[in-house]
Structure 1
Amino acid sequence: MTENYTDPSGNTAQFRAFVDAPESAPASSSAPSRLPLIAGVGVAVVVVVALVAWLALG
């Protein structure tokens, strides 16, 4: 290494620029979709209602 090497992690301005830099990927694509969760809850509700109706009428 050369004698003039400076560690970027030791420079506060460079560290703040790194932290404040925007992400390369959009934020909406990093969030998982809630559609499978909503569909799963809907199916579970239908199954529970069908089970209660079957037990009540049977």
Structure 2
Amino acid sequence: MQLVEQAGQPLEAPTSQDVINVPARSNVTPRIAFDTFTGRTVYHCHILDHEDRGMMAVIITQQ
């Protein structure tokens, strides 16, 4: 995925990353291309207490 915006500010050059750190009380905007992927994938928070409270979901893509 690419990180394209952080804390409401667009990045000059999007950076490709497989893990994105979201600082406390902040937000980020990732861009993910699923055009060559069909199936299920999951996004989640690596802090288990957060994951247990719903910061985890499945994305299903179809061609």
Q: Which has the larger radius of gyration?
A: 1
Interval of TM-score (by shorter of Structure 1 and Structure 2): under 0.3
Greater strand share, 1 or 2?
A: 2
The structure with higher relative contact order (CA 8 Å, sep 6+) is: 2
TM-score (norm 2): 0.15
